[in-house]
């Protein structure tokens, strides 16, 4: 697409019209977009075409894009999947929105998501669940489920997402696309609505690793407006894709194959590892002995930070406000009670509980210690190997409503992805086959700031396989 | 230790979250299960472990104390439900 645009084989206006037409035809089935901005998109496309013609375009100029509705966009509402922000229009753009806009990308609209990014199925959205394009009775994963479904059904060539415990990689796996979560601090979070500040990171959902590298080239940069942004050199991720797999040391943590892993998913991982072995990689058995602590650690740290971050929604300065509050406390409690959905309330209350007087040491402090143990396991593994591989999720996509009654069952779905967030490592998911007709993902975790290494490993795999080229039926 | 309905009411008040009475038993059950689940962390030996302060072992970057923001009050206040004379309005606090 990038090459076709540059050559003039196709214009951005033609591309954008085509994607808008697909959204028009298929979004009612999927519920992937919350907001579509057709007029603005066509105007941006016309502008991009002028730039390309004048030879002023970048590689991304004229390429359509969707943003997860967690990124603030000036003039276009940003809901975060919540009634709380149903009418919220940000006064400014998030840094990555600004950077991708500056590169000439064309924004099609904003994608549906779990409310405040809290969920693994996209069922907690105020705007209703997103459907998996491979099976409309199933979830696309979450929380970046709208972005994943949109890219999987080719309603957008690329989308942004955020990943706090797996929210890019898990939906990418369940929807059959490529999802990248960079190192903590690699991509600016300015203008990205905060959930858990020590874990959140912005990334990409695309069909290929090459597209992810193209986007990351433009997204990764030091941002003085984000205090967690790191001032590290940004390599050319596209140029690094050619790095051969021969000699690559791939660690396979045995804990990723414990009880709970679907036999079909395990088979797909073993076959993917065979592909790497055939390309000359060395497969090494490693151990992450504290991996079992990652989900409980996460469910202390993330709710604690969310209860603090979400205290800004007070019904006064922005967001939902209840009718006729009788006093200030009533204004706060009713605005928040009516504005937030049940999963967000559950997490805020879990957070308030673990941070409350008498419990802080037993829960939050303890979890930050177990988190250190988990991170140390990863550091030890990376002394031996270049990347870690395993399944992204224990099973393929589950049914809508199937796990929504029991929060713990839902939380365990992120068992393989949460570790990388707790340790702050970069990781991605690439399509690696199908189980019962549903896509499953290969999880590749890299060392700190080695996005180039995991993208190259995924790209080389995608050159050998065509799982990432498969598209769901019914969206032709 | 399971959470009682009173615990849920106390936490909801701490978090300034309005919860319908009918929903309290459900939250008590969910939260009890979540707390029981995270209680398994107690089995981990962390006696010699320092709590993680930053995933990359870095300290928060500081900036010089200079005014960088411009006044955009009227733009920001477009998102508020109640504004009067440039101020946010709330129910009367002092009689």
Residue A404 has pLDDT above 90, yes or no: no
Compute the nearest-CA separation of A195 from chain B (Å): 15
Is B8 buried (19+), middle (13-18) or exposed (0-12) by CB count in 10 A? buried
pLDDT tens-digit profile of A30-48? 999 999 999 999 999 999 9
CB pairs under 8 A between A and B: 170
H or E element, residue A143: none
Q: Residue B54 and residue A327: Cβ atoms within 8 Å? A: no
Residue B95 has pLDDT above 80, yes or no: no
Whether A169 and A133 have beta carbons less than 8 Å apart is answered as no
pLDDT tens-digit profile of A160-190? 999 999 999 999 999 999 999 999 999 999 9
Q: Residue B16 and residue A372: Cβ atoms within 8 Å? A: no
Q: How far apart are CA B17 and CA A332, in angstroms?
A: 7
Q: Rounded mean pLDDT of A376-400?
A: 97
Q: Rounded mean pLDDT of A315-329?
A: 95
Q: pTM of the entire structure?
A: 0.96
Of residues A187, A197, A118, A119, the one with CA closest to residue A421: A197
pLDDT of residue A183: 98
B78 touches chain A (CB under 8 A): yes
**Helices A342-355 and A294-309: crossing angle, nearest 10°?**
100
Compute the nearest-CA separation of A93 from chain B (Å): 13
pLDDT tens-digit profile of A438-457? 999 999 999 999 999 999 99
- ipTM confidence: 0.94
Is A466 buried (19+), middle (13-18) or exposed (0-12) by CB count in 10 A? exposed
Q: Report residue A2's pLDDT band, with 50, 70 and 90 as the boundaries.
A: confident
pLDDT of residue B1: 74
- 8-state DSSP, A273: H
- 3 state DSSP class of A432: strand
Could you list the active site residues of A? 68, 143, 167
Q: Report residue B22's pLDDT band, with 50, 70 and 90 as the boundaries.
A: very high
pLDDT of residue A380: 98
Compute the nearest-CA separation of B32 from chain A (Å): 9
B53 touches chain A (CB under 8 A): yes
Contact list in A for residue B63 (CB cut-off 8 A) is: 224
pLDDT of residue A406: 85
Q: Residue A290 and residue B44: Cβ atoms within 8 Å? A: yes
Which is it for the CA torsion A90, A73, A340, A323, positive or negative?
A: positive
Of B37, B55, B91, the CB nearest to A327: B91
pLDDT of residue B93: 83
Is A465 buried (19+), middle (13-18) or exposed (0-12) by CB count in 10 A? middle
Beta strand A106-111 with A64-68 is parallel
B52 touches chain A (CB under 8 A): yes
Compute the nearest-CA separation of A90 from chain B (Å): 8
pLDDT tens-digit profile of A59-80? 999 999 999 999 999 999 999 9
Contact list in B for residue A363 (CB cut-off 8 A) is: 38, 41
Cα dist from A429 to A271, A391, A460, whole Å? 15, 9, 14
Q: Rounded mean pLDDT of B73-86?
A: 92
pLDDT tens-digit profile of A383-393? 999 999 999 99
* Residue for token pair 């690439």: A430
């Amino acid at each position: 697409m990038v090459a076709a645009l540059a050559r003039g084989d196709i214009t951005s206006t033609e591309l954008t019209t085509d994607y808008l037409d697909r959204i028009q035809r298929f979004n009612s089935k999927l519920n992937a977009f919350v907001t579509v901005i057709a007029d603005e998109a066509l105007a941006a496309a016309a502008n991009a075409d002028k730039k390309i013609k004048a030879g002023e375009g970048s590689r991304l100029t004229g390429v359509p894009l969707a943003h997860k509705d967690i990124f603030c966009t000036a003039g276009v509402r940003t809901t975060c999947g919540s009634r709380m922000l149903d009418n919220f229009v940000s006064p400014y753009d998030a840094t990555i929105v600004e950077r991708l806009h500056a590169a000439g990308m064309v924004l099609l609209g904003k994608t549906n998501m779990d409310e405040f990014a809290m969920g693994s199925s996209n069922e907690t959205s105020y705007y209703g669940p997103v459907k998996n394009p491979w099976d409309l009775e199933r979830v696309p994963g979450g929380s970046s489920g709208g972005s994943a479904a949109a890219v999987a059904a080719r309603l957008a060539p690329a989308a942004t997402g955020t990943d706090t415990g797996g929210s890019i990689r898990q939906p990418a796996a369940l929807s059959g696309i490529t999802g990248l979560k960079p190192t903590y601090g690699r991509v600016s979070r300015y203008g990205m609505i905060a959930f858990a500040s020590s874990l959140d990171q912005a990334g990409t959902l695309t069909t290929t690793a090459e597209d992810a590298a193209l986007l990351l080239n433009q997204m990764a940069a030091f941002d003085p407006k984000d205090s967690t942004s790191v001032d590290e050199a940004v390599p050319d991720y596209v140029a690094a894709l050619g790095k051969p797999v021969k000699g690559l040391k791939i660690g396979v943590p045995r804990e990723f194959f414990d009880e709970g892993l679907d036999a079909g998913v395990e088979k797909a991982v073993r076959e993917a590892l065979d592909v790497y072995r055939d390309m000359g990689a060395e497969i090494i058995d490693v151990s992450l002995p504290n991996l079992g602590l990652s989900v409980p650690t996460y469910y202390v740290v993330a709710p604690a930070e969310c209860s603090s971050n979400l205290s800004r929604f007070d019904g006064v300065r922005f967001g939902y406000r209840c009718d006729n509050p009788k006093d200030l406390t009533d204004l706060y409690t009713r605005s928040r009670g009516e504005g937030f959905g049940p999963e967000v309330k559950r997490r805020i209350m879990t957070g308030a509980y673990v941070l409350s007087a008498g419990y802080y040491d037993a829960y939050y402090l303890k979890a930050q210690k177990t988190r250190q143990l988990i991170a140390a396991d990863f550091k030890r593994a990376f002394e031996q190997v270049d990347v870690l591989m395993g399944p992204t999720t224990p099973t393929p996509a589950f049914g809508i409503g199937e796990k929504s009654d029991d929060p713990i069952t839902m939380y365990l779905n992120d068992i393989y992805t949460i570790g990388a967030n707790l340790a702050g490592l970069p990781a991605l998911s690439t399509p690696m086959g199908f189980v019962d007709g549903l896509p499953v993902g290969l999880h590749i975790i890299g060392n700190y700031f080695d996005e180039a290494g995991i993208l190259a490993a995924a790209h080389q795999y995608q050159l050998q396989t065509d799982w990432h080229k498969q598209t769901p039926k019914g969206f032709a | 230790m399971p959470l009682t309905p009173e615990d849920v009411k106390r936490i909801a008040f701490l978090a300034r979250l309005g919860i319908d009475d009918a929903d309290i038993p459900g939250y008590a059950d969910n939260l009890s299960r979540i707390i029981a689940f995270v209680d398994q962390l107690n089995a981990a030996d962390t006696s010699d472990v320092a709590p993680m302060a930053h995933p990359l072992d870095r300290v928060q970057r500081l900036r010089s104390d200079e005014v960088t923001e411009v006044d955009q009050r009227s733009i920001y206040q477009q998102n508020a439900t109640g504004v009067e004379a440039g101020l946010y309005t709330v129910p009367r606090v002092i009689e």
